[in-house]
Amino acid sequence: DTAVSQTPKYLVTQMGNDKSIKCEQNLGHDTMYWYKQDSKKFLKIMFSYNNKELIINETVPNRFSPKSPDKAHLNLHINSLELGDSAVYFCASSQDGLAGGRTGELFFGEGSRLTVL
């Protein structure tokens, strides 16, 4: 059983297109995240949702729009893709996503490698 699953794992597309990456977790966690691993390999937080409510929204272009239909799903939609959007996007979840929670251990999906040509 995959705890955090993302689809697709690989995505190659042209500049200007719109694409979505889906994420689902079966851990019963309250909080889900999107991270971007850039060319320098840093993992950077993009968004965080707790029980379908947006709680972290980092400085990302508004071409990126997360959607959480329920607490087990967090999808990422990207409009008008640019070359710089090429990266690996990781979905993650944690049991306690609010400030002051426990360790806040993150469970990651396998990543979705997006290549924009």
Partner 1 sequence: DQQVKQNSPSLSVQEGRISILNCDYTNSMFDYFLWYKKYPAEGPTFLISISSIKDKNEDGRFTVFLNKSAKHLSLHIVPSQPGDSAVYFCAARLYNFNKFYFGSGTKLNVKP
Could you write out the DSSP letters of every residue in 24-52? Answer: EE-S--SEEEEEEE-TT--EEEEEEEETT
Question: Which of these ranges, 11-19, 64-72, 74-82, 100-108, lies near partner 1 under the rule CB under 8 A?
Answer: 100-108
With vertex at residue 59, the alpha carbon angle to CA 31 and CA 87, rounded to the nearest 5 degrees, is 80
Helix (H, G, I), strand (E, B) or coil at 84: helix
Q: Rule CB under 8 A: say whether 98 interacts with partner 1.
A: yes
Among 34, 87, 90, 114, contact with partner 1 (rule: CB under 8 A): 90
Q: Rule CB under 8 A: say whether 40 interacts with partner 1.
A: yes
Among 43, 53, 61, 84, contact with partner 1 (rule: CB under 8 A): 43
Tokens encoding 75: 């999808």
- Shortest distance (Å) from residue 86 CB to partner 1: 17
The letter for the amino acid at 116 is V
- Interface residue list for partner 1 (CB under 8 A): 4, 35, 40-45, 48, 55-56, 90, 92, 96-101, 103-111
